[in-house]
Structure 1
Amino acid sequence: MQALLAGGGQPAGVDAYRGLLAGITDPAQRALVEQQLAQGLANAPQGAAASTPPVPDPLDQLKRLGELRAAGALTEAEFAAEKARVLATM
């Protein structure tokens, strides 16, 4: 999993979670988010790499952040910071 986040050749969408993972300081919460990300990548369709990764939909990002907060993977402060970052891209 770390190789996917740290190195090149990541599947599209991994960059969208780098900021989220960087903001999580609790090891248990970080492990949960990494596990959920790995499950999402494992279930993603495999195909040719696009020349330009698709831009994540802000509404989908906000929904995912809400799910992570509800699951206890994000604190209110982490959620608020990531929500502000996503809203700034709109």
Structure 2
Amino acid sequence: MRIQTVLIALGVQAKIFKKHGVRRQEIENGLLSGNILFLKTRQERYLAITHEDRYLTVVFEYQNQCAFVVTAYPSSDWQIKRFINK
């Protein structure tokens, strides 16, 4: 999977920062870095576990090399282990 563009609605961006303390720049850097583990979820969504400054989990919809972010949060222990063992 190749992501060229990351789109985050302003309301979603505000919610992610308020609830999880994750900034837009962290999400973009993680999804565009190439150091990612992708997992398929339900409803045509994907889960990306990334590691730049910290481990992040990003849920997004993918279409035409564009990631439409649904939510993002710091990765849990099981997600970090899955990323390390990829």
More helix by share: 1
Greater per-residue strand proportion = 2
Same fold (TM over 0.5): no
TM-score, normalisation: structure 2: 0.31
Higher-Rg member (1/2): 1
TM-score, normalization by structure 1: 0.30
